[in-house]
Amino acid sequence: MARPHTVFVQSQALRWSVARQEVRSGVTCKVLSEDADSGASTRIVRYPAGYDSPERRITADEEWFVLDGEFTFDGVRYGYHDYAYLPAGLPSCRLSSAAGAVVLTMLSSEPSEASEATCCNESRLIRRLDTFARP
């Protein structure tokens, strides 16, 4: 069964909860939508100040849209309204945030740690898109 079609979500009415995904431990999130079968989801993820995760690969495609704050992923700085699309299996996935960040995050399935043998289609990668620079 696919996740239900959601038109509007009053995210301010949702509580922050500890994220179930072990790939990014230490964060809190608000689940906006989740598919019970595949684990695909849309979440608002809050990274606390001083957050630092080790390098990891995950088994899900991941999209980000930064709502507030900033963080660094694999040496690339992301800030307000930056976007990224990260295909499953992308290597060297270290993420840190000195001041904290709030990020709209879309996952194609329930994430888990991927092995080094996991293939990554880097032709699908959008490392960072500055949405303010778009025409």
Residue 4 lies in a domain: no
CB 30 within 8 A of CB 11: yes
Output the DSSP codes for 15-42: PPEE-S-STTTT-EEEEEEE-TTT--EE
Residue 82 lies in a domain: yes
Residue 85 lies in a domain: yes
In the chain, the number of structural domains is 1
pLDDT of residue 23: 61
pLDDT of residue 54: 80
Is residue 11 very low, low, confident or very high in pLDDT (cuts 50, 70, 90)?
A: confident
Residue 17 lies in a domain: no
pLDDT of residue 80: 96
Residue 108 lies in a domain: yes
The whole domain housing 45 covers 25-133
Count Cβ atoms within 10 A of the Cβ of residue 129 and give its class: 0-12 exposed, 13-18 middle, 19 or more buried.
middle
CATH of the domain at 58: 2.60.120.10
Residue 2 lies in a domain: no
Which residue blocks in the chain are alpha helix, DSSP H? none
Which range scores top for mean pLDDT: 17-21, 33-37, 60-64, 110-114?
60-64
Residue 16 lies in a domain: no
Each residue's pLDDT tens digit, 35-94:
889 889 999 999 999 999 887 778 889 999 999 999 999 899 999 999 999 998 887 678
Average pLDDT, whole number, for the chain? 87
The 8 Å CB, 24+ separation contacts for 132-135 are 132/81
Amino acid at 28: T
pLDDT of residue 21: 62
The model's pTM: 0.87
Residue 10 lies in a domain: no
